[in-house]
Amino acid sequence: MAQFHNVVIVGGGGAGLRAAVAVAEANPLLSVAIVSKVYPMRSHTVSAEGGAAAVIAEDDSLDEHAYDTVSGGDWLVEQDAVEAFVQEAPRELLRLEHQGCPWSRKPDGHIAVRAFGGMKKKRTWFAADKTGFHLLHTLFQSALSYPDIVRYDEWFVTKLLVDDGRVHGVVAIELATGRIETIIANAVIVCSGGCGRVFPFTTNANIKTGDGMALAYQAGAPLKDMEFVQYHPTGLPFTGILITEATRAEGGWLLNKDGYRYLQDYDLGKPTPEPVLRSMELGPRDRLSQAFMHEHAKGRTIETPYGPIVHLDLRHLGASVIDSKLPFVRELCSKYQNIDPVKELIPVRPVVHYMMGGIHTDIDGATPLEGLYAAGEVACVSINGANRLGSNSLPELLVFGARAGKAAAEYVQSLQTGPRSVVYKQGDDEERRLRHELGRHDDGTERIADIRTEMQSTMEEGAGIYRDGNSLEKAAVKLHELRERFERAAIDDHSSTFNTEIVAMLELSCMLDVAQSIVACALQRTESRGAHQRTDHPMRDDEKFLAHSLVHRQPDGSGRVGYLPVTITRWPPGERVYGR
């Protein structure tokens, strides 16, 4: 027995919930379902801390937000998409305000904004330092007022059904029961988020395994700009827990082992006691993480059992600023690091945080595969280019979640025909494959966790903040080997009830695909731009590479890389200038 919906959304985080509501509002007669491997309020949007950028202040302008975004992305940015984004972002954040989001306020009751990295004006809306949490719960709770949105909570999507160049639905497992179901849909919107877990040290939650990227990739849709992996400069050692950029926006300093604000040595401006926009600690994330690597090479970081660190100093902000603007940071530091940032320095190091790349979509979230849409971190429009600016991702998932939902709703209304029987057969085949996976023998020679750990260290060594042809070649070979070993992986658990081991295995399969696509794109791009830094090609090469990488999956899992020119409307490529 199959289930039927007009639109199925994979993922119940910020983008998925926004898309579902957009579909419901576009046409209340459409049946829309959210299929998510966790309850929606557990989605990783919940972990976003610092804020959401949208022009609201009197002294600010859409053009300035657009320019900051384009230059922050090192011009690998679709400028028409950015123009739409900056224009629609304020509307989306206001909409959330009207739904109850507790945005922090000025004393007069208006929305407050804070500074953020790479932004020339204060334009980041925030709900203290739990912005993602409040945004997600507001979206989820207000989505509950649409009783017609069907939810498949804790269902894991394993396959997109494709026939005749068109997407016709998904196959998914209900975790609680092991039931495998074919869910037919006229359109599918993938909103499943990023893939930080491909790397060993990440701010990303355990669920961020690139499932949606892999689903689309396997179904024939290309991934875009996968070599651009954002390292956030300030994660806690060992856990990788994010310490928000808002700490620096409120005036925090980055200090090396000599207590020196080392960013001044890396063309990021001169240190001042008060934070200066687009300068020093408020530079873009790629440049700050790269500066850390240079400090480390100079021996000016501090060695710890969990890798080299520098210090984030918030002490001069005082308890009242920290408690009102950064309470979660204080809570996290106390719980996970046993320190009080009011009195002590916070140890931090760069940590994998965000995928600029993702499923290739147009400005409406449509992929080249008919009926398939994507929005949020899983997608690549691209407004983020080679480096995303902090606080652009939350408005992005709202703006493009809404756009994808609207576009999908329009698309399904134009459809005349349903799926052919071959689609149902695909569903049955997938069910058989999954049953077979479940039955993998105990006598397999490989453990899932071992392969995963090796994949993660391969990515860190081969495709970290700095890469070169050699390291990437090695990583490609190693990933190929891991792919073979994966075929021999065993699982201990053969139960059909909440089998988290088979989920881990399916996730690992997705991560291997994503890892290979990252390495394939990184190998081909013989230049340095934004977050992609090749030590063997240290310069930006606009002649050849002012273009998006597009990678198609080959049957053996390897990626075939091509290029797509960048849309430039008003901001010709220039130098990225910070602090001068």
Rank residues 102 and 368 by Cβ distance to other proteins and give the closer one.
102
Write down the catalytic residue from 5, 248, 296, 483.
248
The correct pick among 64, 80, 88, 153 for binding other proteins (CB under 8 A) is: 153
What would you measure as the largest C-alpha separation in the chain, in angstroms? 69
Count of residues touching other proteins (by CB under 8 A): 58
User: Hey, what are 341's tokens?
Assistant: 């940032």
Q: Is 108 in the site for other proteins (CB under 8 A)?
A: yes
CA dihedral 441, 442, 444, 448 (to 10 degrees): 110
Output the smallest distance, CB 33 to other proteins, in A.
16
Contacts of 2 (CB under 8 A, 6+ apart): 169, 181, 182, 183, 184, 424, 427
Element (H, E) at 481: helix 469-487
Q: Is 334 in the site for other proteins (CB under 8 A)?
A: no
Strand 346-355 relative to strand 310-313, pairing: antiparallel
Query: Is residue 151 among the annotated active site residues?
Result: no
User: Hey, what are 485's tokens?
Assistant: 């070993």
User: Hey, what are 68's tokens?
Assistant: 């900051």
Write down the catalytic residue from 42, 114, 232, 330.
232
R_g over Cα of the chain: 23
Output the smallest distance, CB 29 to other proteins, in A.
22
Element (H, E) at 168: strand 166-174
Contacts of 145 (CB under 8 A, 6+ apart): none
Output the smallest distance, CB 507 to other proteins, in A.
12
Query: Is residue 300 among the annotated active site residues?
Result: no
Output the smallest distance, CB 451 to other proteins, in A.
11
The rounded distance, in Å, linking the Cα atoms of 551 and 52 is 30
Point out which residues pair with 189 in neighbouring strands: 9, 373
Q: Is 105 in the site for other proteins (CB under 8 A)?
A: yes
The correct pick among 495, 535, 554, 569 for binding other proteins (CB under 8 A) is: 495
Rank residues 111 and 195 by Cβ distance to other proteins and give the closer one.
111
The rounded distance, in Å, linking the Cα atoms of 262 and 358 is 33
Q: Is 46 in the site for other proteins (CB under 8 A)?
A: yes
Rank residues 256 and 337 by Cβ distance to other proteins and give the closer one.
337
User: Hey, what are 182's tokens?
Assistant: 């074919």
The rounded distance, in Å, linking the Cα atoms of 50 and 233 is 14
Q: Is 320 in the site for other proteins (CB under 8 A)?
A: no
Output the smallest distance, CB 16 to other proteins, in A.
15
Q: By rule CB under 8 A, what string of x and - marks binding of each residue 191-230 to other proteins? A: --------------xxx-----------------------
Output the smallest distance, CB 175 to other proteins, in A.
9
Where along the sequence are the contacts to other proteins (CB under 8 A)?
Answer: 38-39, 41-44, 46-47, 94, 97-100, 102-105, 107-111, 130, 133-134, 137, 141-142, 144-145, 147, 153, 176-177, 205-207, 238-239, 241-242, 328, 331-332, 335-336, 447-449, 491-493, 495, 497-501
Residues classed as catalytic = 232, 248
